[in-house]
A and B are shown apart, each in its own frame.
Chain A
Amino acid sequence: MFADERTQRIIGILSDSFFPILKAGLYFTIPLTLITFVLGLILAFLIAIARLSNVKPLEAAARFFVWIFRGTPLLVQIFILFYGFPSIGITLNPFPAAVIAFTLNKGAYSSEIIRAAILSIPKGQWEAAYSISMTKSQAMRRVILPQAVRVSLPPLGNSFISLVKDTSLAATITVTELFQKGQQIAAVTYEPLWLYIEVAFIYLIFSTVLSFLQSKLEQRYDRMVAK
């Protein structure tokens, strides 16, 4: 009897909270992920090009940037930006702060993926491009990058999926994304176990859908790279 009531209460809480949590995911987690991923990719691309530029100061600056952001925890980077920067007069709203922190971090990581992808394209492709009189930048744009994009799809896809999960860190700076929403409801219902399982389940839905899209995309672009 008692157990039954408890079960019904949990089912009630879970079904009441499902859509609010999902909504937090759709309104904050997904936009945060998408915006940071796109901005992070652009940044990553610029860093990768800088590192391969053969211009010493540019190369050094890019290397320094990657060193900092890969060598420190993302959580600490977020705290410095959101809780630390106000003391030097830079106060950011939670959402933009999260976007900036994630972008810089993702940019640093993804730049290594892109750089490795560019370096993985066989020398023969550069030579073929030069042999039809392309300049270095034409060869890069028309021959190397299109192939490097395909090479970097799997690792970038993985980093995209891990980004979905990493955005839960934004909860620590009061962004009401998926995890934060779950926390709030857990706090008032006293059912942390079931709520966090529900939160985990919703993350699982997001990352499963993304993995599926990723594998479709990879299949489409398979075989388009010089071996």
Chain B
Amino acid sequence: MITLTNLQKRFGELEVLKGIDVTIEKGTTAVIIGPSGSGKTTLLRCLNLLETPDGGSISIGNHKIDFSGQKVRGADVAALRKQTGMVFQNYNLFPHLTALQNIMEGPITVLRKPKEEVRKRAMDLLEKVGLRDRADMYPHQLSGGQQQRIGIARAMAMEPAVLLFDEPTSALDPELVGEVLRVMKDLAEEGMTMAVVTHEMQFARDVSDKVIFMDQGVVAEMGTPDEVFGNTKNKRTLQFLNKLNTI
């Protein structure tokens, strides 16, 4: 469903992704873990082309872009990006729009769908993230957890083939983490395809189908949660997991 082949990304001299090969099956959730600076965010940003990879290829559904050849066409970028939705660490909601308007903005401005239809679907999404009664509130009137759930609904409104999450709960007060993870778990159970960068190991264990451990720009280990958390033989994974446990 999502296939990354030998994906590479450099920032000047710094090689951040050194050839990533990953597949994520349709309807599954992949969790990406790894130490700070290992390239997790960069990988997600390459997936929706907020960063342009320097080599390798990305295919999502039946859209594929090869980055090793000539310059990438804008139309290809747009087509691939339409397949992805992004949930940001600090929400990045549009502060001048209400919760409902945040969700409706994409379908109306980009997809040019009829307003009534979009509103109905947006209300359904609000219902789903448990915020139907907050439809007319502005982001600054909502808690972090509520904002992040709106962020998820905004991404879902574009009906992407895959949802990308970059540490969606790490800016939240501990008591608000659960409500966001709950929504993500529901999505996973409904068969949404997701790639999630997170430090929430319990979530990784319970919800994910695949754990991808990144270290220094490469995939150091990849497997089911049982394989990675249960009995990994990989030294770097062990080190990382031990460090997490001692915190």
Chain A residues in the interface with B (C-beta under 8 A): 124-125, 127-128, 130-135, 138, 142-143, 146-147, 150, 223-226
Closest 6 CB pairs of A and B: A132-B106, A128-B92, A131-B86, A124-B92, A224-B96, A146-B96
Q: Do A133 and B110 have beta carbons less than 8 Å apart? A: yes
Q: Do B94 and A128 have beta carbons less than 8 Å apart? A: yes
Bitwise interface map of B from 147 to 190 toward A, beta carbon under 8 Å scored 1, else 0: 00000001101100000000000000000000000000000000
Majority secondary structure of chain B interface residues (helix, strand, loop or mixed): mixed
Chain B residues in the interface with A (C-beta under 8 A): 48, 50, 78, 81-82, 84-86, 88, 90, 92-96, 105-106, 109-110, 138, 140, 154-155, 157-158
- Inter-chain contacts of A143 with B (CB < 8 A): 94
- Inter-chain contacts of A223 with B (CB < 8 A): 95, 138, 140
- Inter-chain contacts of B81 with A (CB < 8 A): 130-131, 133
Q: Do A150 and B106 have beta carbons less than 8 Å apart? A: no
Which among A128, A146, A224 is the interface contact of B88 at CB below 8 angstroms?
A128
- Inter-chain contacts of A128 with B (CB < 8 A): 86, 88, 92-94
Majority secondary structure of chain A interface residues (helix, strand, loop or mixed): helix
Q: Do A147 and B95 have beta carbons less than 8 Å apart? A: yes
Q: Do A132 and B158 have beta carbons less than 8 Å apart? A: yes
Q: Do A125 and B82 have beta carbons less than 8 Å apart? A: no
Q: Do B105 and A226 have beta carbons less than 8 Å apart? A: no
- Inter-chain contacts of B106 with A (CB < 8 A): 132-134
Cα(A144)–Cα(B157), bound, Å: 21
By CB atoms of chain A within 10 A, which of B50, B93, B96, B157 has the most? B96
Can you identify 22 A-B contacts, CB atoms within 8 angstroms? A124-B88, A124-B92, A125-B92, A127-B88, A128-B92, A128-B94, A130-B48, A131-B155, A132-B85, A132-B155, A133-B78, A133-B82, A133-B106, A133-B158, A134-B106, A138-B110, A142-B109, A146-B96, A147-B96, A223-B95, A223-B140, A226-B94
- Inter-chain contacts of B84 with A (CB < 8 A): 131
Q: Do B88 and A132 have beta carbons less than 8 Å apart? A: no
Give the distance to chain A from B166, nearest Cβ to Cβ, in Å: 10
Cα(A136)–Cα(B164), bound, Å: 21
- Inter-chain contacts of B85 with A (CB < 8 A): 131-132
Cα(A150)–Cα(B94), bound, Å: 13
Give the distance to chain A from B167, nearest Cβ to Cβ, in Å: 13
Q: Do A224 and B95 have beta carbons less than 8 Å apart? A: yes
Q: Do A127 and B92 have beta carbons less than 8 Å apart? A: yes
- Inter-chain contacts of A146 with B (CB < 8 A): 96
By CB atoms of chain A within 10 A, which of B85, B86, B94, B154 has the most? B94
Q: Do A131 and B105 have beta carbons less than 8 Å apart? A: no
- Inter-chain contacts of A225 with B (CB < 8 A): 95-96
Cα(A224)–Cα(B157), bound, Å: 22
- Inter-chain contacts of B96 with A (CB < 8 A): 146-147, 150, 224-225
Cα(A142)–Cα(B50), bound, Å: 19
- Inter-chain contacts of A130 with B (CB < 8 A): 48, 50, 81
Given A224-B96, A226-B95: A134 touches B110 (CB 8 Å cut-off): yes
Cα(A143)–Cα(B106), bound, Å: 11
Cα(A138)–Cα(B155), bound, Å: 17
- Inter-chain contacts of B138 with A (CB < 8 A): 223-224
Cα(A176)–Cα(B140), bound, Å: 49
In the complex, residue of chain A having the shortest beta-carbon distance to the beta carbon of B108: A142
- Inter-chain contacts of A150 with B (CB < 8 A): 96
